């Protein structure tokens, strides 16, 4: 892993995205290198989710280029007719953690985690379950394996969701406000898991409002404003010395509480 550090895993060039006539992402340029932890902040509705969802193809874009692992993500016109070749292969290697967890409610925690490895990576049940238990151990939920998601707290569900993504052995993890739906006392347990991942060298793109976490764990922080990346820098530069006026207003607002 270390050897590959520094080379780009996500390359975005002049990306534009529209919802109908609404221009959501505007001429976005962004490169994420292997091992990097990129934190994305910005006001509500600025397009953070849209940007991160483009990276694993949950959203399509209209122009520009977006490469993940050297694979050019298909544009809107190429996706009009069903599945695009190669898209699924890329998705296997990109984990996604959602604000609302999105665990499969009709499956146990264990089944949630083994589904991908068994159906997509064609692993045997025994192997998938062994690996799942190891991951549950890692997120501190070994004893919850046979429960249904509905019986877990939000923080526990989100940790299961992270384990589910990790089970696919991704080389890039996307987080879209993973702690925003959680009660305050559960935020810490999820951030701990993410901090641990960062320490192990996982490449991550994280949308979050947890500024303390961003400063501590992020390698780089970018600010999205009305669909544009208007500020980018190390946490120190970003938080202590923002160049852009709007970033400054934003920070003064969120850091107050």
Ligand X SMILES: Nc1ncnc2c1ncn2[C@@H]1O[C@H](COP(=O)(O)OP(=O)(O)OP(=O)(O)O)[C@@H](O)[C@H]1O
Q: Which residues bind ligand X (CB under 6 A)?
A: 19, 22, 24, 42, 44-50
Rounded to a whole number of angstroms, the distance between the first and last alpha carbons of the chain is: 38
Pairwise CA distance, residues 114 & 105, whole Å? 14
Options 14, 29, 78, 119; binder of other proteins; rule CB under 8 A: 119
Beta bridge partner(s), residue 97: 175
Grouping H, G, I as helix, E, B as strand and the rest as coil, residue 215 is: helix
CB 191 within 8 A of CB 179: yes
Would you mind telling me the total number of residues written for the chain in this entry? 257
CA 80 to each of CA 76, 77, 138: distance values in angstroms, whole numbers, following the listed order: 7, 6, 40
Residue 49 or 179 having the CB closest to Mg ion: 49
Beta bridge partner(s), residue 68: 10, 71
Residue 44 or 241 having the CB closest to ligand X: 44
How many residues at the interface with other proteins, by CB under 8 A?
31
Query: C-beta of 250: minimal distance to other proteins in Å?
Result: 27
List the single partner that 157 binds among other proteins, Mg ion, ligand X, none, CB under 5 to 8 Å by kind: none
Query: C-beta of 177: minimal distance to Mg ion in Å?
Result: 6
List the single partner that 102 binds among Mg ion, ligand X, other proteins, none, CB under 5 to 8 Å by kind: other proteins
CA 197 to each of CA 37, 82, 106, 170, 203: distance values in angstroms, whole numbers, following the listed order: 10, 34, 28, 12, 9
Asked if 146 is part of the footprint of other proteins (rule: CB under 8 A), the reply reads no
| Burial class, 231, CB count within 10 angstroms (exposed 0-12 / middle 13-18 / buried 19+) | buried
Residue 70 or 150 having the CB closest to other proteins: 150
Residues sharing a CB contact under 8 Å with residue 34, sequence separation 6 or more, in sequence order: 1, 4, 5, 6, 7, 8, 9, 171, 203
List the single partner that 24 binds among other proteins, Mg ion, ligand X, none, CB under 5 to 8 Å by kind: ligand X
The residue range among 25-33, 69-77, 91-99, 127-135 that interacts with other proteins, by the rule CB under 8 A, is 91-99
List the single partner that 208 binds among ligand X, other proteins, Mg ion, none, CB under 5 to 8 Å by kind: none
Residue 88 or 243 having the CB closest to other proteins: 88
Residue 48 or 220 having the CB closest to ligand X: 48
Q: Which residues bind Mg ion (CB under 5 A)?
A: 49
Beta bridge partner(s), residue 19: 22
User: Which residues make up the interface to other proteins (CB under 8 A)?
Assistant: 56-58, 81-83, 88-89, 91-92, 94-96, 98, 100, 102-106, 115-116, 119-120, 148, 150-151, 161, 164-165, 168
């Amino acid at each position: 892993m270390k050897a590959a550090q520094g080379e780009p895993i996500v390359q975005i060039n002049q990306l534009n995205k529209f919802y109908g006539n609404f221009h959501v992402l505007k001429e976005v340029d962004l490169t994420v290198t292997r091992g990097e932890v990129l934190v994305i902040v910005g006001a509500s509705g600025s397009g953070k989710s849209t940007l991160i969802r483009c990276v694993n193809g949950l959203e399509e874009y209209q122009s520009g280029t977006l490469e993940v692992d050297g694979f050019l993500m298909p544009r809107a016109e190429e996706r009009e007719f069903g599945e695009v070749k190669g898209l699924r292969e890329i998705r296997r290697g990109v984990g996604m953690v959602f604000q609302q967890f999105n665990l499969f409610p009709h499956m146990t925690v264990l089944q949630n985690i083994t589904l991908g490895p068994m159906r997509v990576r064609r692993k045997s049940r025994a192997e998938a379950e062994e690996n799942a238990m190891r991951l549950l151990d890692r997120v501190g939920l070994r004893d919850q394996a046979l429960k249904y998601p509905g019986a877990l707290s939000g923080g526990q569900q989100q940790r299961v969701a992270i384990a589910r993504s990790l089970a696919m052995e991704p080389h890039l993890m996307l987080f879209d406000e993973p702690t925003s739906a959680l009660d305050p006392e559960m935020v810490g347990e999820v951030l701990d898991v993410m901090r641990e991942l960062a320490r192990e060298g996982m490449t991550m793109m994280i949308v979050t409002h947890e500024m303390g976490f961003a400063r501590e764990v992020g390698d780089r922080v970018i600010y999205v404003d009305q669909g544009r990346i208007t500020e980018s820098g190390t946490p120190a530069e970003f938080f202590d010395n923002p160049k852009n006026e709007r970033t400054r207003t934003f920070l003064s607002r969120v850091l107050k509480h």
